[in-house]
Amino acid sequence: MSDYKEIINRVNNALQIYSDKFSNQFHLKIPKNTINKINLYRDNYFPFLKDSVYKSNLCYLLQLVDYQLWLYKVFKPSLSLENAYFYQLLVTLGIITESLCSTILINPLIISQPEDRSMGESSDENQAILQFINKNSFIKNIFLLEKLNILRPHSIDQIQKIRIDIRNMVHIQNWEGRLYETLNCTLFEFHLKRFRDFIVELKNEINMDFTEADLKKQIGFTGENEEYPGRIFEYNKDRGFGFIKCEKLNSNIYFHISDFITKNIQVKKEMSVKFTVIETKKGIQAKNIEPLNNDATY
């Protein structure tokens, strides 16, 4: 027992000596102005956006890039680790690019909260439209930005080029996972500078005069009494739900068997239907569904 206590004491003494000698070397303080404050991003980069959780997320991602660049300069990883580091940062720029497009589109739906700049959200009645935009592909959201005249052709071209270049850079692995190209700090900072320059210029190029009504009209959702044509795209008979493909709404709309006006109907794929919609927290849902032509079976 005494030998055991002696060993414990020696270990504790050794740990204390190690801590006293080396702990100060691991205390890393981020130099002042290395990472921009969140309000600098909010007010200087995105003054055209209402304060919201979506705008704040864009700013936090930009802070993350700054922070990771600082970490790189402190620890200087090399070889494959350096490659992985900057591919991760490049993917982050891609996420910011796509998020920026969707955040611009949902801006008219946002209700800001003056007491907390990071808490602005869309109202419950607009959750379906918000989800529609968030689920859209980058290309579809770019199409909406163009159709609503939010971005000029020059800006549309720029943001598409940024996204395509990022995509091409991160899609260079072969089947064994080996990288065809290396990505170092100099090359990444080229992409980062171009991205930052675009954001800075954007506040002078963007047109944010579009309204909630303009957005809904462009998407094709005009209200709960509007009838839409579509066809059954998918149906789970056992669970009684499926999706209607609607070209006018540019989306697949959820429905339940109980949403059909006629009961005891046998739903089948490719069935042509007409329907109205309601907005729910989970998205747009079809209601008052009726078969078209002779597609109905009972």
Residue 94 φ/ψ region, left for φ over 0, alpha for ψ in the -120 to 50 degree band, beta for the rest: alpha
Going from the C-alpha of 138 to that of each of 28, 45, 95, 103, the distances in angstroms are 39, 21, 10, 12
Backbone angles phi, psi at 71, to 5 degrees: -60, -40
The Cβ-side half-sphere exposure at 244, using a 13 Å CA radius, reads 31
Give me the pLDDT at residue 92, please: 93
How many Cβ atoms from other residues are within 10 Å of residue 205's Cβ?
A: 14
Give me the pLDDT at residue 174, please: 47
Backbone angles phi, psi at 231, to 5 degrees: -140, 150
How many Cβ atoms from other residues are within 10 Å of residue 10's Cβ?
A: 10
At 143 the three-state DSSP class reads helix
Q: Is the pTM of this model over 0.75?
A: no
- Averaged pLDDT in 10-residue chunks for the chain of 298 residues: 67 69 62 82 92 93 91 82 86 93 94 89 80 83 93 93 86 55 85 93 93 84 76 90 86 89 86 86 82 64
Give me the pLDDT at residue 296, please: 54
Give me the pLDDT at residue 62, please: 93
Q: In the chain, what are the domains?
A: 31-216 (no CATH), 223-291 (2.40.50.140)
Give me the pLDDT at residue 32, please: 78
